[in-house]
Structure 1
Amino acid sequence: MVVKVIELVGTSRHNWTDAVDNAVMEASKTLEDILGVEVTNFTANIDNGHIEEYRADVKIAFQVH
């Protein structure tokens, strides 16, 4: 088996878990056989003292055919 890993950034206005989910859902639209996800970093954009957008840097592994 050969596995390829790509890096993506998921975003959400609600929380970091949703940011990761959004990255995986978007990737699954064009990738088949996703095997796993690794979260490498969490960040957020701040506006007026409040978190405006949650960001999750992820690595998504999928099988190459």
Structure 2
Amino acid sequence: MVEKTIELTGASANSIEDAVNIALARAAVTIDGIRHVHIEDIAASVENGAVATWRVRIRITFAVQDRLHE
């Protein structure tokens, strides 16, 4: 098996978990076989002294398909 890893960024006003799930769900639209998610970085933008948006940088690993062209 061959795997590939890519880096993505997700953002959510609700939570860190939601930001991860948003990035993962978007990747899953075009990528099959996602196997792992690694959270590389967590940050937040602040407005009026409170967290306004959570941002996460994640790496997802997925299996490279054996087929070349169909």
Would the TM-score normalized by the shorter structure come out above 0.5?
A: yes
Are 1:45 and 2:60 counterparts? no
User: Aligned residue for 2:31?
Assistant: 31
Unaligned 5+ runs, structure 1: none
Taking structure 1 as the reference length, what is the TM-score of the superposition?
0.96
Q: Which structure's CA Rg is the greater one?
A: 2
Taking structure 2 as the reference length, what is the TM-score of the superposition?
0.90
Unaligned 5+ runs, structure 2: 66-70
* Identity percentage of aligned residues: 35
Q: List structure 1 runs of 4+ shifted beyond 2 angstroms.
A: none
Aligned residues: 65
Q: Which has the higher strand share?
A: 1
User: Aligned residue for 2:14?
Assistant: 14
